[in-house]
Amino acid sequence: MAAADLREELNCSICWDIYTDPVTLPCGHSFCQGCIGRTWDGQKEIGETPSCPECRQRYRRQPELKRNLRLRNIAERLLSALPKSNGTGVLCTYCVHAPVPAAKSCLLCETSLCGAHITAHIKSLEHVLIKPTTSFSNRKCSRHKKLLEYYCCYDGACICASCCLAGGHWGHCLRALKEASEKKKKKLRKVLEKLSPKIKETEREVQRLQERSRDMEERAAGETERVTDLFKNIRYRLEALEKRVLSEVSRQKEELSLTFTSLIRELEIKKDEMSRMIRHIEELSLDMHLVDLDISETLVTGLAGIVTRIKGRIWGQKTMDLVLDTNSAANNVSVSGDRKCASFSRTDQRHPLTPDRFESSQVLSTKSFPSGRCYWEMEDLIGL
């Protein structure tokens, strides 16, 4: 008895079956999510605002449905605890000696019948036969215990004849349950007809995307392999270049080291030679005669030549002809035609105005010396 009462409390007031995925409205009443959705769809079709089928509270907008997880868990536990048939389907109620599958169920008698026991029920119009079922409560009105024969379009609920006359459905748009069922099935078939091509199109689209995904993965794998090989080749070339550069640096280092060693040895020899000459000159200076003047002049000239050659070897002396930039010469500087000679001029040369033009007596060369030590060799005409 307690289980029956609990099942009654867990029945949805729309479908009169145990809750399936129950949701709770702001007014506190709970329904199956699918049942309340279909109810509000029916109200929308006749231009009514959504309302609670239990207390009739109306809402300006369709409220948010909150899933009642606790109620769902209780309903699932009750369903798992209900006794199940020993056979594969619904059994005949009257075949007590052996389990016989039922062919129909009678809503009036609330029994299931096999082919042998169904004859009497077929002859009577009062006995409504349906497909075999073990749940009769959802086929009858919970208030009047009568068969559900009509469908209320306003509330989206199945009702009995008493509900139509004395219940809360008076004045609502009513249809015969079979008619409403056929209409709903027809609407669902149309939905299926529309969905079937979309499903096929979706399947084709999924297949196309899967092919593109596989193609993208293959291309990505190929690109990854190509980039890996490219960088491997770059690393190999860089390592080879590094070895060549280091080898060249080492070679030049050894070559310069040998050059410097040879130059130092040669300078040491020249230094000893100059030392001997200096000592000889000092000896001559102590006892110098007129006859020896030519000898001393020769010694001085030779010593100066040795010094000059040593300076040239040390500094890597190299002469270079300069080419002067006429665009930088001041107006009081005269530049020769071959642009290798510049001289001061008291006459204004009236050079064209350029950004690089000096205002004082200066002129630049077209070439520069990024390294080394340089000096000027000039001819002094004044004799200073």
Query: Percent of the chain at pLDDT above 70?
Result: 77
Q: How far apart, in whole angstroms, are the C-alpha atoms of residue 311 and residue 263? A: 12
Residue-wise DSSP of 353-373: P-TT--SSS---BSS--SSS-
Q: How far apart, in whole angstroms, are the C-alpha atoms of residue 304 and residue 277? A: 12
Q: How far apart, in whole angstroms, are the C-alpha atoms of residue 104 and residue 139? A: 14
For residue 11, the 8-state DSSP code is B
Least confident of 26-40, 60-74, 167-181: 167-181
Q: How far apart, in whole angstroms, are the C-alpha atoms of residue 364 and residue 323? A: 9
With a cut of 80, say whether residue 375 has pLDDT above it.
Answer: no
Banded pLDDT at 235 (limits 50, 70, 90): very high
Contacts of 272 (CB under 8 A, 6+ apart): none
Per-residue pLDDT at 304: 60
Bridge partners (DSSP) of residue 343 are: 334
Between 69-81 and 2-9, two packed helices, what is the crossing angle to 10 degrees? 140
Q: How far is CA 2 from CA 5, 85, 139, in A?
A: 5, 21, 22
Q: Determine the average pLDDT of the residues in 44-61.
A: 85
Q: Determine the average pLDDT of the residues in 28-54.
A: 86
Helix, strand or coil for residue 258?
helix
Q: How far apart, in whole angstroms, are the C-alpha atoms of residue 378 and residue 212? A: 81
Q: How far apart, in whole angstroms, are the C-alpha atoms of residue 105 and residue 93? A: 9
Helix, strand or coil for residue 235?
helix
- pTM of the full structure: 0.30
Banded pLDDT at 152 (limits 50, 70, 90): confident
The tokens for 325 are: 């930039």
What is the CA 263 to chain-centroid distance, rounded? 67
Q: C-alpha angle 164/167/171, rounded to 5°?
A: 55
Pair 148, 141: CB distance under 8 Å:
yes
Please report where in the chains the tokens 């029945």 appear, as a residue.
11
Across the chain, mean pLDDT equals 79
Q: Determine the average pLDDT of the residues in 68-97.
A: 71
Residue-wise DSSP of 156-192: TEEE-HHHHHTSTTTTS-EEEHHHHHHHHHHHHHHHH
For residue 117, the 8-state DSSP code is T
With a cut of 50, say whether residue 88 has pLDDT above it.
Answer: no
Q: How far apart, in whole angstroms, are the C-alpha atoms of residue 20 and residue 10? A: 10
pLDDT tens figures, 197-225: 888 888 889 999 999 999 999 999 999 99
Among the listed residues 143, 181, 180, the one whose alpha carbon sits nearest the alpha carbon of residue 165: 143
Q: How far is CA 127 from CA 16, 123, 310, 324, in A?
A: 21, 9, 137, 127
Q: Determine the average pLDDT of the residues in 22-34.
A: 89
Bridge partners (DSSP) of residue 365 are: 324
Pair 113, 130: CB distance under 8 Å:
no
Pair 104, 93: CB distance under 8 Å:
no
Residue-wise DSSP of 281-298: HHHHHHT--GGGHHHHHH
Q: How far apart, in whole angstroms, are the C-alpha atoms of residue 20 and residue 129? A: 26
Domain ranges in the chain are 184-315, 318-375
Q: Determine the average pLDDT of the residues in 7-28.
A: 82
